[in-house]
C-alpha cells in the first residue's frame, strides 16, 4: 500500500485516500491525464524529429569542418531523445564533444597548484602565517573584456595540504592535448587551460556562420543569450518553433566520479551491480556551464540509466512524465521553481528507495506518484534535493530572493494538491 514511513503521508494523504477504492479512482484519473495531456502524438514526434535532426547533423558537421576541435557527431541527450518529453515535441538537447583532449583526473591539489580565475582582479589577501601559500590567480579581463559578461565573483578557499579544492573552480581544468589540432589554440585558452566562455563564443560564431552558408537563415536563428552551458538555435517551421540546445562538453577523456560523489552508493539494491559497473565506467564529463569554471556533469550516465529503466509492464518513465506535467500545470506552472532535471533525480532516488520490479508495476502508478510527490514536498520545504550521481550538489539551490519566494509558492501548491489529490486530479481533467 502507501509508503507509511513519511508522517506527512499518514496525516494528510491517508486522510483522503483511506481505502483501496480511492487509490483505484486516483489511478484512473492519473491514467486519463496521461492519455489526454502527457502522451505525445507519434505523428507530431516524428514530424518534429524529421525537422530537427537534419539541421542538427548539418550544423554539427559544418562546425567540425570549420574547426576540427569540435566533434562532428552530436550526442543525443535530454528528454526528447529519452522518451520523457511532455507537452509539445519542440525541444532537443545535444552535446558536442571536444576532440583530442588529454585524460584528466581528480588527484589531490595543494593550494599552490590550484588555478583560480577571475574576470575582475581578485581582492588582495595576505597569506596566513606559517600556513599554506595562497593559490595562483589569473585575471582574464584583458583577454575577454567585460562589456558582454557579468563580473564573476569568486570565493577564496583555503585547503589543507593535499586536500581537493571545492568543485567548480578550475583545479580540475583540462590541460591541452599535444594533438596538432590544439597547437595554436590561443583563441580558446589561457595559460594552457580551455576557458568555457571563449569556447562558447567561438562555437556560437561558427553556428551563425554555418546557418548562413548552409542557406538556413530564413528558418533558423541563434539565440542571443547563453542558457547555462547551451547555445540555443530556434527553428521556425510553418509557425511552429523548435529549440535545439548545443552544449560543448569534454567527455572522451572523461574522468571517473570524484570521491566526493560517493558513487556507487553503498548498500543499495538499485541499480543492479552490473548497471553500477557500467555507469562507473562511463564516468563524468565536463560542461562549459559557467563563464570561467567547468562543471562536472553525469549526463551520459543519466542517459544510460534511463535507457533501460523499465521492463515491460513497469511504470517508472510513465510516472516521471506525469510528475513533469503536474509540475507544469499545477506546481511550478510557468516558473522554473522545480526543473524537469530535479524531477528526474527525484525519480532516481525513488527507484533506489523502491528497488524491486513489483513496486513499479502498472497497478502501483498512483502509489509511486503519491510517494514522489510527498518526497518532493519534503525537499522543497527543506530547500534541498541532492543530485543522484553528485549528492554534494543541491538542485534546489536558489541564488536570489525572488527564486526563493517562488519556491515557497510552489511548496504551497504542492501541499494543496496533497491535501486532496483525487479532487485535484478530477478538476484538472475536467479543465482539459
Cα–Cα distance, 187 to 163 (Å, whole number): 32
Tell me which residue of 239, 152, 137 sits closest to 190, measured CA to CA. Answer: 137
Position 107 scores a pLDDT of 45
Cell of 323: 510528475
> Cell triple for residue 237?
517551421
Beta bridge mates, 226:
231
Picking from 36, 44, 35, the residue whose alpha carbon sits closest to that of residue 242 is 44
296 neighbors 168 (Cβ within 8 angstroms): no
Per-residue confidence in pLDDT tens, the chain, 432 aa: 334 445 444 445 544 555 667 889 999 999 999 999 998 777 788 888 899 999 999 999 999 999 999 999 998 888 877 777 777 778 899 999 988 665 554 444 444 444 555 554 444 444 444 444 444 555 555 555 433 333 233 333 333 333 333 333 333 444 555 667 776 777 887 766 677 888 899 999 999 999 999 999 999 999 988 777 889 999 997 778 899 999 998 875 456 787 778 899 999 999 999 999 999 999 888 887 767 667 778 999 999 999 999 999 999 999 999 999 999 999 998 788 999 999 999 999 999 999 999 999 999 999 999 999 999 999 999 999 999 999 988 999 998 899 999 999 999 999 999 999 999 999 999 986
Contact between 134 and 125 (Cβ < 8 Å): yes
CA 276 to chain centre: 20
Task: Look at residue 228 in the predicted model and tell me its pLDDT.
Answer: 77
Residues 311 and 383: beta-carbon distance below 8 Å: no
Residues of the chain with CATH 1.10.1410.40: 7-38+309-431
CATH code linked to domain 7-38+309-431: 1.10.1410.40
User: What residues contact 178, with CB distance under 8 A and at least 6 apart?
Assistant: 102
CATH classification (class only), 54-265+285-298? alpha beta
SS3 95: strand
What is the C-alpha separation between 356 and 353, in angstroms, rounded? Answer: 9
For residues 106, 111, 115 and 117, what is the CA-based torsion angle, rounded to 10 degrees? 120
Amino acid at each position: 500500500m502507501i509508503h507509511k514511513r513519511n508522517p506527512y503521508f499518514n496525516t494528510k494523504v491517508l486522510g483522503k485516500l483511506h481505502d483501496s477504492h480511492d487509490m483505484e479512482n486516483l489511478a484512473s484519473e492519473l491514467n486519463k491525464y496521461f492519455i489526454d495531456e502527457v502522451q505525445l502524438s507519434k505523428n507530431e514526434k516524428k514530424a518534429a524529429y524529421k525537422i530537427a535532426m537534419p539541421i542538427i547533423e548539418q550544423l554539427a558537421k559544418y562546425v567540425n569542418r570549420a574547426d576540427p576541435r569540435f566533434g562532428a557527431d552530436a550526442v543525443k541527450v535530454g528528454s526528447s531523445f529519452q522518451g520523457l518529453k511532455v507537452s509539445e515535441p519542440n525541444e532537443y538537447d545535444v552535446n558536442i564533444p571536444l576532440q583530442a583532449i588529454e585524460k584528466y583526473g581528480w588527484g589531490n591539489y595543494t593550494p599552490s597548484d590550484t588555478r583560480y580565475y577571475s574576470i575582475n582582479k581578485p581582492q588582495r589577501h595576505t597569506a596566513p602565517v606559517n600556513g599554506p601559500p595562497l593559490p595562483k590567480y589569473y585575471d582574464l579581463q584583458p583577454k575577454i573584456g567585460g562589456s558582454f559578461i557579468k563580473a564573476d565573483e569568486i570565493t577564496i578557499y583555503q585547503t589543507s595540504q593535499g586536500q581537493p579544492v571545492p568543485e567548480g573552480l578550475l583545479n580540475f581544468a583540462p590541460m591541452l592535448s599535444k594533438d596538432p589540432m590544439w597547437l595554436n589554440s590561443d583563441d580558446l585558452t589561457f595559460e594552457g587551460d580551455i576557458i568555457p566562455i571563449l569556447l562558447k563564443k567561438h562555437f556560437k560564431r561558427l553556428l551563425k556562420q554555418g546557418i548562413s552558408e548552409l542557406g538556413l537563415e530564413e528558418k533558423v536563428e541563434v539565440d542571443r543569450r547563453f542558457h547555462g552551458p547551451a547555445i540555443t538555435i530556434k527553428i521556425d517551421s510553418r509557425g511552429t518553433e523548435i529549440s535545439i540546445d548545443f552544449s560543448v562538453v569534454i567527455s572522451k577523456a572523461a574522468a571517473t566520479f570524484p570521491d566526493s560523489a560517493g558513487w556507487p552508493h553503498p548498500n543499495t539494491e538499485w541499480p543492479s551491480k552490473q548497471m553500477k559497473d557500467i555507469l562507473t565506467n562511463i564516468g563524468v564529463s565536463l560542461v562549459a556551464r559557467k563563464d570561467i569554471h567547468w562543471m562536472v556533469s553525469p549526463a551520459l550516465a543519466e542517459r544510460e540509466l534511463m535507457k533501460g529503466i523499465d521492463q515491460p509492464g513497469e511504470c517508472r518513465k510513465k510516472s516521471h512524465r506525469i510528475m513533469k506535467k503536474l509540475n507544469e500545470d499545477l506546481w511550478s506552472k510557468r516558473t522554473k521553481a522545480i526543473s524537469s532535471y530535479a524531477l528526474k533525480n527525484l525519480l532516481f532516488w525513488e527507484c533506489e528507495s523502491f528497488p524491486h520490479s513489483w513496486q513499479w508495476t502498472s497497478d502501483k502508478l498512483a502509489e509511486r506518484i503519491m510517494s514522489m510527490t510527498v518526497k518532493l514536498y519534503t525537499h522543497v520545504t527543506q530547500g534541498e534535493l541532492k543530485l543522484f550521481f553528485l549528492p554534494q550538489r543541491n538542485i534546489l539551490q536558489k541564488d536570489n530572493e525572488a527564486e526563493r519566494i517562488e519556491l515557497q509558492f510552489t511548496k504551497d501548491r504542492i501541499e494543496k494538491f496533497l491535501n486532496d489529490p483525487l479532487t485535484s486530479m478530477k478538476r484538472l481533467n475536467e479543465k482539459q
